[in-house]
Amino acid sequence: MRRSLLVLVLVAVSTIGWSPARALASGASGVSPASPRVQADFNGDGADDIAVGVPGESVGSIISAGAVNVLLGSAGGLSGAGSQLFHQDVAGIGSAAEEFDSFGAALAVGDFNNDGFDDLAVGVPGESVGLVTAAGAVNVLFGSAGGLSGAGSQLFHQNVAGIGSTAEEFDFFGSALAAGDLDGDGIDDLAVGVPFESVGTVIEAGAVNLLYGSPTGLNGGRASALFHQDVAGIGSSAQPFDLFGASLAIGDFNNSTISDLAVGAPGEAVGTVDAAGAAHVLFGRATGVSGASSQLFHQGVAGVGSDPEAGDFFGGALGAGDFNADGFADLAIGADGESVGAIPAAGAINVLYGAVGGLTTTGSQVLHQGVAGVGSNPEDFDGFGFALVGGDFDNDGFVDLAVGVPFEGVGVVPGAGAINVLFGGGGGLSGAGSQLFHQDVAGVGSTAEEFDGFGWSLAVGDVQGDGPVDLVVGVPFESVGAVESAGAVNAFSGSVAGLTGGAVLHQDVAGIGSTAEEFDVFGLAVGGPDPQSASAAATSAISTTSAAAAGASEGAGRPLP
């Protein structure tokens, strides 16, 4: 298969969180959410909690209905103690568990009803709406002193009154999610990626539904909005397989005090170059988000490094954070299909910095494993940049960036996966002092095995409640004992010295609901509260989210190379 086609297939499968192949392989969808608030957690105890998507989970005998395990933070770090299990057959949660719903393929955390407890949005991209197969849906679970529950939960899809467009087959609404306050009313809002939405007759052009928070939850106040490339002010135009909405991130890129929405379109053709990819910035205002003055970036725009090439999938993952601590949020854009020199799909990221007026190409960077200080080397199909998340891991006031490299070989073990951690500073991100982790690094639990997919998904939160931001790495194809692709997550702790390895958590760990079963793909998506908000030194009003990636972040059923 030609590389570009291969990558396209990989991306398509990985971004949707569901596919027919998923029953055989597993799924992929990546999303990490955030909300601009200090100490955001579901039960309000001061330690951030982490949601782990298990979209391949069977509910009873219903295969790949999907579930979410919620793991609670504490001074000792993430553990199974007090954890919760949710799926669509839990009381109060809308719809019902059905085959290939893939509940948990994407996750986002925010306080959507402004009661001080974080709430959880769960993507269910394979959900059928009425008789419409895989139109997709989102369940919203609300937090309380007792943690998350099904009580008062909300269910959204495109046939709900007020939500734009209509539910159509294989839209996969809910493939990517991001939370943040996009209208500055102090209440978090939810962006929902619908990358396979048809715009008019243009198939898989993609769209984003934006639901605003209110004291009564999402969609209770300001009217929801629908965005795609044919909306006035938004760059380019809707073309087949643009996959607009495959990834999402939120940050205040123009430092206006109101957060803005970054949208990846990794399938975007640049000129005649297919799937080179693009990323948009839609600005938040007190009147809500609109296309006015929006920005469009891709490789080939003056000042943006590298050139657009087929299958780069620029925009397959996004990670926001103020890497240079100047008050303007910055954006890392994954291009996991990017060739480094002659090395295909080694992967790279472009970093664009915030300024008055939004993101600027001034000082922009291209970073990959061939850059000085960045661990490992670029190799065929590493997929560097498949998942991204920002967090101030060393608590120095500069947001740092974790980069998933889920297909990295470790020694002679193909596809075991790795992450590179790049630290922020006055000059922005750099390779200086960067860290490289995989499961054969001392202190990191488990062992690197073929196609574990370590680094497929990433989430951050101050799970210890001690200041430095902590990291959770999804390893969805990890075998638990002899159970293949049951999936696991590796926890890391932040400190002034950077990250160190911690617990390995999966469904056979005491306290964690259900049991490890084949192709559960626990960890295909992970979600935590706002990375920047957990750092007192960081600027306010920044949320970070990484979404599904290409060849890999928030997804399922992706065939392994």
Residues that bind Ca ion (CB under 5 A): 111, 113, 115, 117, 119, 143, 181, 183, 185, 187, 189, 213, 322, 324, 326, 328, 330, 354, 392, 394, 396, 398, 400, 424
With CA atoms as reference, report the closest residue to 206 among 150, 256, 248, 244: 244
Least Å from the CB of residue 556 to Ca ion: 28
With CA atoms as reference, report the closest residue to 465 among 14, 24, 44: 44
Least Å from the CB of residue 547 to Ca ion: 20
Per-residue tokens: 112: 């959507």
Sign of CA dihedral 274, 12, 550, 202: positive
Length of the chain measured in residues: 561
Least Å from the CB of residue 471 to Ca ion: 12
Q: Which is nearer to Ca ion, 336 or 400 (CB)?
A: 400
Q: Cα separation of 252 and 539, whole Å?
A: 10
Residue 329 has phi, psi (to 5 degrees) of -65, 145
Least Å from the CB of residue 323 to Ca ion: 6
Q: Which is nearer to Ca ion, 113 or 236 (CB)?
A: 113
Least Å from the CB of residue 213 to Ca ion: 5
Q: Which is nearer to Ca ion, 143 or 527 (CB)?
A: 143
Q: Which is nearer to Ca ion, 55 or 354 (CB)?
A: 354
| Residue 511 CB partners (closer than 8 Å, separation 6+) | 79, 80, 81, 82, 83
| Cβ neighbours, 10 Å, residue 521 | 38
Q: Which is nearer to Ca ion, 79 or 113 (CB)?
A: 113
Q: Which is nearer to Ca ion, 328 or 451 (CB)?
A: 328
Work out the burial of residue 61: count CB atoms within 10 Å of its CB; fewer than 13 is exposed, 13-18 middle, 19 or more buried.
exposed
Residue 559 exposure: Cα atoms within 13 Å on the Cβ side: 9
Least Å from the CB of residue 98 to Ca ion: 27
Q: Which is nearer to Ca ion, 67 or 187 (CB)?
A: 187
| Residue 143 CB partners (closer than 8 Å, separation 6+) | 41, 42, 43, 44, 111, 115, 117, 118, 119, 120
Least Å from the CB of residue 489 to Ca ion: 22
Least Å from the CB of residue 461 to Ca ion: 15
Least Å from the CB of residue 480 to Ca ion: 33
Q: Cα separation of 152 and 218, whole Å?
A: 12
Give one DSSP letter per residue of 284-324, joined into a string: --TT---STT-EEE-BTBTTS-S---TT--EEEEEEEE-TT
Q: Which is nearer to Ca ion, 102 or 259 (CB)?
A: 259
Per-residue tokens: 372: 């000085």
Q: Which is nearer to Ca ion, 112 or 313 (CB)?
A: 112
Q: Cα separation of 526 and 456, whole Å?
A: 10
Sign of CA dihedral 81, 105, 252, 326: positive
| DSSP symbol at 21 | G
C-alpha distance from residue 337 to each of 8, 225, 319, 381, 435 (Å): 9, 31, 17, 8, 22
Least Å from the CB of residue 2 to Ca ion: 38
Q: Which residue has the tokens 């397959």?
A: 316
Q: Which is nearer to Ca ion, 183 or 452 (CB)?
A: 183
Q: Which is nearer to Ca ion, 19 or 546 (CB)?
A: 546
| Cβ neighbours, 10 Å, residue 356 | 9
Least Å from the CB of residue 552 to Ca ion: 25
